Amino acid sequence: MNSVTVKVPASTSNLGSGFDTLGLAVKLYNFVQVTRCAGKGVGLSWAVAKEDATWFERALGDAAKLFFRRTRCKSFGGEVKLVSHVPIARGLGASATIRVGFIAGLNELAGTKLSRAQLLELATGLEGHPDNASPAIFGGFTVSGRIDGEVRCLHFRVSTDLKCVTLIPRFGISTEEARKLLPVAYPKADAAHALNRSALITAAFSSRHCEALRGLFDDRVHQPYREKLLPQLPEVIRAGEKAGAIGGFLSGSGSAIMCLALRNAEAVGRAMLKQLPESEIKILSPDNNGYRVARTD
């Protein structure tokens, strides 16, 4: 086998107060084709904006080094082509799709047979946290974190009746810049509130009781601080809820905003768009499969 294509779903993370912990895979995909080449190193065979080229080369180079070091497999060169449908810097897990797609492709080409749990360990090492890598790998709703140095992930299927109405602005938000806005410490009341909401959100998803999500996305951990970068956030969410959404939240660190709906998804999207007109609306369903690999040669 010389070439594989890995289809990887986008994801939303945090889901309100589940900071760096909760994730949900959605049916919006990047396709990462990995081809074995002579020699060593990673080459890009798709047009990359000059300002992004350095990031891609470094990210894929680091992923290759970590993969071959952990698997103790003899390294080989790789050519990577990306067919991208997941916008960058919108809080939809684009970097996780690329890293997961690449290491999953290497896993196939090298015949190392790493499990999805082992791939998650690698992806988390590259991403720094597992909240986007987990849904990209397992699909569905995921709860994950490091326990005694290892990544533990629980994942649950989500009804495709639930629609993720996603407003994607024309501008992106840097995750690094968004993190700088967060406080070093939180009041006890805000910490308790975050624990309560995260537990209730997890219980609602794991029991597939989506109506119970209503009222649970009133986050105090990151959204109020990140409004400086996206002042329209509360108005977009309120408009979506008035139009029938169960609730809404900032997707990851933004700039995308997501509202969950069981009905009237189109009306929810129109209401959200009125608050931030120069944006795109995508009505997405949950992806319960995670990444998929297909041979391309």
In the prediction, which pLDDT does 268 show?
98
In the prediction, which pLDDT does 297 show?
62
Q: Enumerate the domain spans of the chain.
A: 3-157+287-295, 163-284
In the prediction, which pLDDT does 21 show?
96
d(Cα 198, Cα 180) in Å, to the nearest integer? 22
In the prediction, which pLDDT does 46 show?
77
In the prediction, which pLDDT does 53 show?
75
Quickly count helices (H) and strands (E) in the chain: 9, 11
d(Cα 77, Cα 157) in Å, to the nearest integer? 37
Ordered DSSP codes for 30-86: EEEEEEEESSSSEEE-S---HHHHHHHHHHHHHHHHHHHHHHTPPP-EEEEEEE--S
Most distant pair of Cα atoms in the chain: their distance: 58
**272 within 8 A of 236, measured Cβ to Cβ:** yes
The answer for residues whose C-beta is within 8 angstroms of residue 277's C-beta and 6 or more apart is none
Average pLDDT along the chain, 297 residues, taken 10 residues at a time? 93 96 98 90 77 82 94 91 92 96 96 96 94 97 95 96 97 92 95 97 96 96 95 97 98 96 97 96 98 85
Question: What letter would DSSP give residue 286?
Answer: B
User: Is 163-284 assigned to CATH 3.30.70.890?
Assistant: yes
- The architecture in CATH of the region 3-157+287-295 reads 2-Layer Sandwich (3.30)
**98 within 8 A of 180, measured Cβ to Cβ:** no
